[in-house]
Structure 1
Amino acid sequence: MKRIRPASLAFDICNYIGLALLAALMVFPFWSVLVSSLTAPHLVHEGAIMLWPKQITGIAFETIFNTPNFIKVFQNTIFITVIGTFVSMVLSVMLGYPLSKKRLKGSQVMIFIVFFTMMFHGGIIPSYLIVKSLGLMNTLWSLIIPNAINAFNIIILISFFRTLPEELEDSARIDGCNDFGILFRIMVPVSMPILATLTLFYAVAQWNMFFQAVMYISNPNNFTLQVLLRQLLLVLTSDAIAASLSEDAPRIGVTVKLAMIVVSTVPILLVYPFLQKHFTKGMMLGSIKG
């Protein structure tokens, strides 16, 4: 049996304690928000710091869930997250793989164009005019198509594909695979770590879509969750509305704000455990070389 040296054991103990404290430090803010959102509004209004809910109530969540069109808006957000992430991943792979091949004529020029878009952007007004000219205004596709490809993610994909041995492609061609067969039968399966990582990036970006939704959509039936929560927050903090309600309205508004954070954060957090095992590996593999 291998003997563990006291110095090594002490280091491991200190390491675990330090990591546990760091994890607790990161988890505590969200835990505090969750606890406060389930606590009676008047206790939260007093500013008491609680580790466990007191006088548990769901009035804050009821206020959010009873908001008109909440179900429809939640469905819209899920739609743009799922479909938008799928479209983004397909287009990113279809662009990143060929650009990773230096033998492709013009690939360096195309990579420069992709990189150029990271440094310079056309601006809000040109983007708005393009979306309007395409007839995408007041549609959920206005939140998917203009944001379908992220230049930074393309650079990561290109770097990753260049780390894969060319022998994989050569053996696939010997077996009779064409370029599409090589991509979807060989390259995609062995690229799951980086694809899972970029899927998480795209999904989080789509879920948190706010500015584009405000700019392109005016129909309440096509709002996203972030826009609806913002409107609810404005209503609850409006002096005119609060004056017409009961005297507890401002206090309820405090817990509703916290419940909004939970509602907008928990669904996307549920996706992370399924991708976590690929996340770190994918980022490291995509950064080996440029």
Structure 2
Amino acid sequence: MRRTSPAGITFDVLNYAGLALLALLMIFPFWNVLVSSLTAPHLVQEGGMMLWPKEITLIAFKTIVSTPNFVKVFQNTVFITVVGTLLSMLLSVMLAYALSKKRLAGAGLMVFAVFFTMMFHGGIIPSYLLVKNLGLINSLWSLIVPNAINAFNIMILISFFRTLPEELEDSARIDGCNDFGILFLIMAPISMPILATLTLFYAVAQWNMFFQAVMYISNPSNYTLQVLLRQLLIVLTSDAVAASLSEDAPRIGVTVKLAMIVVSSVPILLVYPFLQKHFAKGIMLGSIKG
């Protein structure tokens, strides 16, 4: 309803102004990083905030792209993000749908088992030994399989599936549909908001994979983007290496740090617009019982 009173109009103006200021405070840091990564290194080293690039140069991005194995590493990151997200969503949806049915024998116990893993974890050493015994060390699958299911996301999906009317399933069964048909042909399409939201959660987690990659991967050809950028940062900030390079090497290191933030952030940010229309609605689904 549109406000027509002076008090209502004042409230709207202040509300929009406050939200605009809040959005600016969130956007400006990333904008400053982007601008600085495109600015000449010696100007960035002088410090200060910049609204627009000065002496535009792509030397920082060229340094990153020219790094050995960059293309291979980028492909690895895309692979674990796409395959890992698809596998996670498939397993999560199937598990949550089954556990949402109270008629399933032992459903309550299995839900508790999922919840228990949110509170207690085996630790780093048992996780490493498990991955090693499965023969996944130095394999990209070591970054996909152990992280295939997130207990918190499972609990959200279970809560959501329990809010769906059972009449939909009864009608489908009358039409001869089995459990898989009900799940993938009926429940999944009407659950797109929550599924899109969890897809984004899983994709961001896979894209930002770092600790597990350092722990399980020692072969440089199987590095993820985050690990490669860290290695590049170490090289550029090493006094011994910097001394053997050109005189601009120490300065380049400043802008390379900023360019790395852009390179590691922009690809996953490009996914958000495609899921945004579902995200705002999906994040609240299953959180309120009516």
Same fold (TM over 0.5): yes
Cα distance in structure 1, aligned partners of 2:134 and 2:28: 46
| Cα pair 1:41 1:255 within 8 Å, conserved | yes
| Cα pair 1:73 1:224 within 8 Å, conserved | yes
1:280 Cα deviation after fit: 1.6
Cα distance in structure 1, aligned partners of 2:48 and 2:106: 62
> Equivalent residue of 1:62, what SS?
helix
Matched, 1:250 2:245: no
Q: Which amino acid in structure 2 is aligned with residue 114 of structure 1?
A: V
Q: Which runs of 5+ in 1 are unaligned?
A: none
Q: Which amino acid in structure 1 is aligned with residue 239 of structure 2?
A: D
1:143 Cα deviation after fit: 0.4
| Cα pair 1:159 1:288 within 8 Å, conserved | no
1:159 Cα deviation after fit: 0.4
> Equivalent residue of 2:52, what SS?
coil
Cα distance in structure 1, aligned partners of 2:42 and 2:236: 16
1:243 Cα deviation after fit: 1.9
Aligned to 2:62: 62
Cα distance in structure 1, aligned partners of 2:161 and 2:22: 35
Runs of 4+ in 1 over 6 A off after TM superposition: none
> Equivalent residue of 1:252, what SS?
helix
Q: Deviations over 1:108-142 (max 9, x none)?
A: 10011000101111111111111111111111101
Aligned to 2:185: 185
Please give the residue correspondences for 1:28-39 in structure 2 after superposition, counting only pairs within 5 Å.
28-39=28-39
Aligned to 2:203: 203
| Cα pair 2:194 2:278 within 8 Å, conserved | yes
Q: Deviations over 1:16-68 (max 9, x none)?
A: 11111110010000000000000000000000211000000000000000000
> Equivalent residue of 2:135, what SS?
coil
1:5 Cα deviation after fit: 1.3
Q: 1:3 to 1:78 in 2, by over 3 A?
A: closer
Cα distance in structure 2, aligned partners of 1:80 and 1:286: 28
Cα distance in structure 2, aligned partners of 1:101 and 1:289: 17
Please give the residue correspondences for 1:85-96 in structure 2 after superposition, counting only pairs within 5 Å.
85-96=85-96
Q: Deviations over 1:165-195 (max 9, x none)?
A: 1111111111111111111111000000000
Q: 1:254 to 1:211 in 2, by over 3 A?
A: same
Q: Which runs of 5+ in 2 are unaligned?
A: none
Q: Deviations over 1:237-275 (max 9, x none)?
A: 112112222332111100000000000000000000000
| Cα pair 1:163 1:288 within 8 Å, conserved | no
Please give the residue correspondences for 1:1-290 in structure 2 after superposition, counting only pairs within 5 Å.
4-289=4-289
Q: Which amino acid in structure 1 is aligned with residue 59 of structure 2?
A: I
| Normalised TM-score (structure 1) | 0.98
| Cα pair 2:3 2:9 within 8 Å, conserved | no
Cα distance in structure 2, aligned partners of 1:285 and 1:217: 37
Cα distance in structure 2, aligned partners of 1:217 and 1:110: 32
Q: Which amino acid in structure 2 is aligned with residue 6 of structure 1?
A: P
Cα distance in structure 2, aligned partners of 1:207 and 1:285: 25
Cα distance in structure 1, aligned partners of 2:41 and 2:12: 43
> Equivalent residue of 2:284, what SS?
helix
Q: Which amino acid in structure 2 is aligned with residue 156 of structure 1?
A: I
Cα distance in structure 2, aligned partners of 1:107 and 1:96: 10
Q: Deviations over 1:86-112 (max 9, x none)?
A: 000000011000100111110010011
| 176-185 or 32-41: bigger deviation | 176-185
Cα distance in structure 2, aligned partners of 1:108 and 1:238: 55
Q: Which amino acid in structure 2 is aligned with residue 98 of structure 1?
A: A
Aligned residue pair count: 289
Aligned-pair identity in percent equals 83
1:3 Cα deviation after fit: 7.7
| Cα pair 2:118 2:151 within 8 Å, conserved | yes
Q: Which amino acid in structure 1 is aligned with residue 95 of structure 2?
A: L
| Cα pair 1:160 1:288 within 8 Å, conserved | no
Q: Which amino acid in structure 1 is aligned with residue 203 of structure 2?
A: A
